[in-house]
Amino acid sequence: MNIIVCVKQIPDPETPAASFKVDEQAKKVIPAQGVAPVVNPYDPQATEAALQLRDAAGGGKVTVVSLGPDSARDAIKHALAMGCDEGVLINDDAFEGQDNFQTANALAKAIDKIGEYDLILMGRAAADWDMGVVPIGVAQALGIPAVTVAKSIEKDGDSVKVERVLDDGFQTVKAPLPAVVSVSNEFGEPRYPQLRQIMMAAKKTVEVWSASDLGLSPDEVGEGNRVLPLEALYIPKIESNVEIIEGESPEEKAATLVARLREAKLI
Amino acid sequence: MDFGLTPMQEEIRTNVGRIMQRFGEDYWLARDEDHCFPDEFTDAMAEGGWLGIAMPEEYGGAGLGVAEAAVLMQTVAKSPGAMSAASAIHINIFGPNPIVVFGNEEQRQRWLPPLIRGETRTCFGVTEPTAGLNTSSIQTRAVRDGDQYLVSGQKMWTSTAQEADKILLLARTTPREECERPFDGISLFYADLDREHAQVREIPKMGRHAVDSNEVFFDEMPVPVGDRIGEEGKGFQYLIHGLNPERILVAAEAIGIGQEALDRAAKYARERVVFDRPIGQNQGIQHPLAESWAELQAAWLMALQAAWLYDNGQPCGSEANASKFLGAEAGKRACERAMITHGGLGYARELHIERLYREVLINWIAPVSPHLILSNIAEKALGLPKSY
C-alpha cells in the first residue's frame, strides 16, 4: 500500500504568549527569537496511521511531503525516523506569503508527481492557523474523496473505512481509494523514534522540488496570488471583568445571577 | 567556527524532550516522596536506544560522541526529572567505557548488549569511607584464589546498588606499600553483585530520593578472573580514561537543572503581580536571573568545547574540569535565584524549586569537589606547584 503523508513545520505552540508578536503592517507573524519551530502536533499521528496501514498491508511505501522553508527538512526527518521510506521537501521563495488553497494546490501537484498512491494522510489541521482546509483542498485538486478528523482508519478492499470524530459522537464512513484522510489526536499516541532510526533518517536524502519542478507558474503562487486575501492580522485584545453578585441569601444571589446572565444574553 | 548544534544533536534534543514530556512534574515529585526507582522512565530510555548513545554500534549502541551524550543528559536534566532522571541512566551512558576501551572482545560481547538494552543494571564501586578523592588509598582488597578473586572491603556512595545486578568495582590486588607508585596495584572488575557476599545499605540523604545511594560491604565476594578488565594492577589508569567524559556529562546535567529552574523562575516573574506590576519588571528580580542565563550559556559552551576536544582525540582535562566547575556553580546559583524569585513558594514542595535545588547540589559536590578541580587547573593549566 502506497501512502503519502503531508506534514508541516509550525512555530512552537508552547511559545510564551509574551513572545508571540505580529507585524500588523506586513501582516506577518514575527518568529519568536530562540524558539525552534516544531512539527505540527497532529502530523506524527497521521504518520503513525500511515506506518500502521503500510505494515498491516504487508508492504508498500510511505512518502512524506512538506511544503515550507529549508528548516521544514527537520519535520521530514522526524517522519523518516518514525519509519517513512522517502521524503520530499517543496521549497521555493516564490511560495512566501501564500494561502492554504495555493498550498493545497502545490501539494496536489507534488502528489501527482510522486505518482502511485492509494491514500493521502494529513493531520486534521495545522496548529498555527488551525484552519484544517488543506486536506479538503488537496482532495479537490486531485478530484478524489476527502474524509476529515479520523479516529481510526482501516483498509477494506479498494476502499477505506474511517471512524470520524464529531462534536456529539463518532461517525463511520467508507470512501473509495485513493482518498485523502485527515487524522485527529483521538487516533492515539504516535511512536517515538529510536536513536538508531534517527541516525538512519539522518543519512537519507530528502528530494527538494521548486515551484517550477511542479509546473506551477509565477502567477499561481505567492502572496500576490492569494485566493483568500488577508485583510488584517492582529492579536485580539481580550478584556475580562469580574462582578461579585451581592445578596442577603443564596436564593437572592442566584436570582440576581440569573438576571445578569439573561441581560448578557448568555442564557 | 560553528557554534550551532548539528542536525543529529537537534534530533536528540527533540526526541529525548518528547520522552521527558511523558514524565511530568507529578511523576517526579511522587518518586521523590516514595523513594521508588523511576523504572518506567529508564524502560522508555532503553526502548528508544538512548542508553547506548556513546557505545559502539557493533554491540547495539549508536557510536556517537560525548557531545551527543552531553546534549542527551542536558535534555534529560532540563526537566522536572532533574538529577533523579539523569542519575537513573547516567552510569549506562559512559560508565561502561573501561569495558569498551580495555575489555576483551568476549567481555564486550557478554556485557555491553544487555547494558545497552537496559536488561542489566550496574553501579559504580570506587569511593570508600576513607578514600574519596584520594582514590589510591582504597582499602578494598581482591585476593587471588585460583581462577577467582575474593573481594573484601567497603564502598560508599554507590548509586543504584539497591537493584543493580553488576558492579564496576575498583579493588587493590597488591598492597600499596608493595607498589612503586600509589596508583599501581589497583585492578578493575565488572562483577556480579553477589548479595550472598555483598551487603547493600542505603544512605539516607538530602535529595534525589528516587535513586538510592549506598554503602556496600563485601565479605570474600568471589569474582572470576574472567571478570577482570584488562591487566591486573592497571585498573586506576583504566578508570581515569573515562573521567573527563564523566565531568562533561555531570556539567551538562547541572546546566540542564539550572536552565529548568531559570525557566520556572522567569515564568513566575512574568506572571506574579505585586504592587500592580509583574515582579519580573523589577530589576532586582531581572538582573540575577539574567546573570544566571549568562552563566549557564557560558558553562554550556565550555562543556561543548570540552566534549569537542574529547571527541576529536585531543587532551581536555582542564576544559572538562572547568566545565564541571562552571556548570555546577551556574546550576546551583540558578536554583538559588529561582527560589528567591518564588519567595516562600520556592520553599514549598509543590513548586519543585526546592527539589531542583536539593538535586543540583550533587553535581556541585560529586564526582569531584570544586576545590580539587581548581587545584588541578592551577597545576595543569597554570603550571603552579601541585598542592595535593
Contact flag B48-A16 (C-beta cutoff 8 Å): no
Residue B348 shares a structural domain with residue B260:
yes
Residue B113 shares a structural domain with residue B243:
no
Residue linked to cell 445578596: A247
CB B152 within 8 A of CB B169: no
From the CA atom positions of chain B, what is the Rg in Å? 21
Residue A138 scores a pLDDT above 90: yes
- Asked whether residue B205 is domain-assigned, the answer is yes
Residue B307 shares a structural domain with residue B376:
yes
d(C-alpha B296, C-alpha B78), whole Å: 12
Model pLDDT, residue B343:
95
For residue B64, the chain A residue with the least C-alpha distance is: A199
Pick the residue of B5, B10, B15, B271 with the most A CBs within 10 A to test the interface with A by mutation: B15
φ, ψ of residue B195 in degrees (nearest 5): -70, -10
Indicate the pairing of strand B277-278 with strand A21-23: unpaired
DSSP B133: S
- B32 pLDDT tier (thresholds 50, 70, 90): very high
φ, ψ of residue B276 in degrees (nearest 5): 65, 20
Contact flag A199-B62 (C-beta cutoff 8 Å): yes
Residue B135 shares a structural domain with residue B113:
no
- A75 pLDDT tier (thresholds 50, 70, 90): very high
> CATH number, domain at B196?
2.40.110.10
In angstroms, the separation between the Cα of residue A198 and the nearest Cα of chain B is: 7
**Which residues in chain A have Cβ-Cβ distances shorter than 8 Å to B52?**
195
Per-residue model confidence as pLDDT tens digits over A23-48: 999 998 898 887 888 999 999 999 99
CB A162 within 8 A of CB A150: yes
- The residues, any chain, with a CB within 8 Å of residue B256's CB and separated by 6 or more, are B73, B74, B75, B76, B77, B78, B79, B82, B86, B331
Contact flag A78-B50 (C-beta cutoff 8 Å): no
**Which residues in chain B have Cβ-Cβ distances shorter than 8 Å to A195?**
12, 15, 48-50, 52-53, 62
Q: Tell me the CA distances in angstroms from B332 to B327, B328, B358, B367, B383, one per residue in order.
A: 8, 6, 9, 15, 29
Stretch 43-82 of chain A: residues touching chain B, C-beta under 8 Å: 74, 77-78, 81
Structural domain including B131 reads 122-233
Q: How many C-alpha atoms does A219 have within 13 Å on its Cβ side?
A: 0
Range B151-173 average pLDDT: 96
Range B354-359 average pLDDT: 98
- A16 pLDDT tier (thresholds 50, 70, 90): confident
Of B7, B10, B53, the CB nearest to A195: B53
Model pLDDT, residue B68:
97
- Asked whether residue B2 is domain-assigned, the answer is no
- B133 pLDDT tier (thresholds 50, 70, 90): confident
In angstroms, the separation between the Cα of residue A3 and the nearest Cα of chain B is: 24
Q: Tell me the CA distances in angstroms from A244 to A107, A259, A266, B114, one per residue in order.
A: 53, 14, 17, 64
Model pLDDT, residue B43:
95
**Which residues in chain A have Cβ-Cβ distances shorter than 8 Å to B49?**
194-196
- Asked whether residue B373 is domain-assigned, the answer is yes
Picking from A132, A141, A85, the residue whose alpha carbon sits closest to that of residue A111 is: A141
For residue A38, the chain B residue with the least C-alpha distance is: B14
Per-residue model confidence as pLDDT tens digits over B191-203: 999 999 999 999 9
Residue B227 scores a pLDDT above 90: yes
In angstroms, the separation between the Cα of residue B8 and the nearest Cα of chain A is: 7
Q: Establish if A192 touches chain B: CB-CB under 8 angstroms.
A: yes
Residue B164 shares a structural domain with residue B242:
no
Residue linked to cell 494522510: A121
- Number of A to B CB contacts under 8 A, please give it: 47
CB B229 within 8 A of CB B188: yes
Residue B51 shares a structural domain with residue B126:
no
d(C-alpha A226, C-alpha A217), whole Å: 14
- DSSP, residue by residue, chain A: -EEEEE--EE--TTS-GGG-EEETTTTEEEPPTT---EE-TTHHHHHHHHHHHHHHTT--EEEEEEES-GGGHHHHHHHHHHT-SEEEEE--GGGTT--HHHHHHHHHHHHHHH---SEEEEESS-TTT----HHHHHHHHHT--EEEEEEEEEEETTEEEEEEEETTEEEEEEEESSEEEEE-GGG-PPPPPPHHHHHHHHHSPPEEE-TGGGT--TTTSSGGG-SS------PPP------PPP-SSHHHHHHHHHHHHHHTT--
Residue B167 shares a structural domain with residue B265:
no
Contact flag B47-A74 (C-beta cutoff 8 Å): no
For residue B21, the chain A residue with the least C-alpha distance is: A192
Contact flag B8-A202 (C-beta cutoff 8 Å): yes
- B256 pLDDT tier (thresholds 50, 70, 90): very high
Residue B247 shares a structural domain with residue B358:
yes
Residue linked to cell 582525540: B313
Pick the residue of B8, B11, B92, B93 with the most A CBs within 10 A to test the interface with A by mutation: B11
CA geometry: angle B111, B112, B116, nearest 5 deg: 130
Range B268-290 average pLDDT: 97
DSSP B137: G
All cell numbers assigned to B17:
524532550
- Asked whether residue B386 is domain-assigned, the answer is no
CB B213 within 8 A of CB B205: yes
Supply the angle between the helices B353-365 and B82-94 in degrees, to the nearest 10. Answer: 30
* Interface pTM, i.e. ipTM: 0.81
Residue B188 scores a pLDDT above 90: yes
Q: Tell me the CATH number for domain A2-225.
A: 3.40.50.620
Of A16, A18, A196, the CB nearest to B62: A196
Sheet with A2-6, edge to edge strand ranges: A169-176, A159-166, A146-156, A179-183, A119-123, A2-6, A61-67, A86-90, A207-209
All cell numbers assigned to B318:
582542564
Residue A239 scores a pLDDT above 90: no
- A77 pLDDT tier (thresholds 50, 70, 90): very high
For residue A75, the chain B residue with the least C-alpha distance is: B11
CB A164 within 8 A of CB A170: yes
All cell numbers assigned to A98:
501564500
Stretch 113-132 of chain A: residues touching chain B, C-beta under 8 Å: none
> CATH number, domain at B64?
1.10.540.10
Model pLDDT, residue A134:
97
d(C-alpha B119, C-alpha B113), whole Å: 9
Q: How many CB atoms lie within 10 A of CB A156?
A: 11
Model pLDDT, residue B213:
96
**Which residues in chain A have Cβ-Cβ distances shorter than 8 Å to B118?**
none
CB A154 within 8 A of CB A49: no
Contact flag B267-A16 (C-beta cutoff 8 Å): yes
Of B15, B62, B64, the CB nearest to A193: B15
Model pLDDT, residue B208:
96
Residue B94 scores a pLDDT above 90: no
The chain-wide mean pLDDT, for chain A, equals: 94
A178 upstream amide cis, omega within 30 of 0: yes
Which of B201, B233, B265 is the last residue before a domain boundary?
A: B233
- The residues, any chain, with a CB within 8 Å of residue A139's CB and separated by 6 or more, are A120, A145, A146, A179, A180
Q: Establish if A12 touches chain B: CB-CB under 8 angstroms.
A: no
**Which residues in chain A have Cβ-Cβ distances shorter than 8 Å to B50?**
195
Query: Count of domains in chain B?
Result: 3
Residue B200 shares a structural domain with residue B311:
no
Range A151-179 average pLDDT: 96
**Sign of CA pseudo-dihedral B346, B347, B352, B358:** positive
- Asked whether residue B198 is domain-assigned, the answer is yes
Decide: helix, strand or coil at residue B273.
strand
Model pLDDT, residue A267:
86
CB A4 within 8 A of CB A63: yes
Which of B82, B117, B152 is the last residue before a domain boundary?
A: B117
CB B154 within 8 A of CB B217: yes
Which of B184, B211, B233 is the last residue before a domain boundary?
A: B233
- Asked whether residue B388 is domain-assigned, the answer is no
- The residues, any chain, with a CB within 8 Å of residue A249's CB and separated by 6 or more, are none
- pTM of the full structure: 0.86
Q: Is A44 exposed, middle or buried (0-12, 13-18, 19+ CB in 10 A)?
A: buried
- The residues, any chain, with a CB within 8 Å of residue B219's CB and separated by 6 or more, are B152, B197, B198, B199
Stretch 16-45 of chain A: residues touching chain B, C-beta under 8 Å: 16, 18, 36, 38
Q: Establish if A194 touches chain B: CB-CB under 8 angstroms.
A: yes
Of B18, B48, B270, the CB nearest to A194: B48
In angstroms, the separation between the Cα of residue A193 and the nearest Cα of chain B is: 7
In angstroms, the separation between the Cα of residue B112 and the nearest Cα of chain A is: 16
All cell numbers assigned to B341:
524569585
Q: Tell me the CA distances in angstroms from B71 to B74, B249, B258, B329, B335, one per residue in order.
A: 5, 9, 15, 19, 20
In angstroms, the separation between the Cα of residue B48 and the nearest Cα of chain A is: 4
CA geometry: angle A229, A234, A237, nearest 5 deg: 140
d(C-alpha B345, C-alpha A185), whole Å: 36
- B364 pLDDT tier (thresholds 50, 70, 90): very high
Model pLDDT, residue B184:
95
Model pLDDT, residue B240:
87
- A240 pLDDT tier (thresholds 50, 70, 90): confident
Residue B208 shares a structural domain with residue B260:
no
Decide: helix, strand or coil at residue B182.
coil
**Which residues in chain B have Cβ-Cβ distances shorter than 8 Å to A78?**
11, 14
CB B11 within 8 A of CB B50: no
Range B332-351 average pLDDT: 96
In angstroms, the separation between the Cα of residue B50 and the nearest Cα of chain A is: 6
- A14 pLDDT tier (thresholds 50, 70, 90): confident
In angstroms, the separation between the Cα of residue A54 and the nearest Cα of chain B is: 22
Contact flag A18-B270 (C-beta cutoff 8 Å): yes
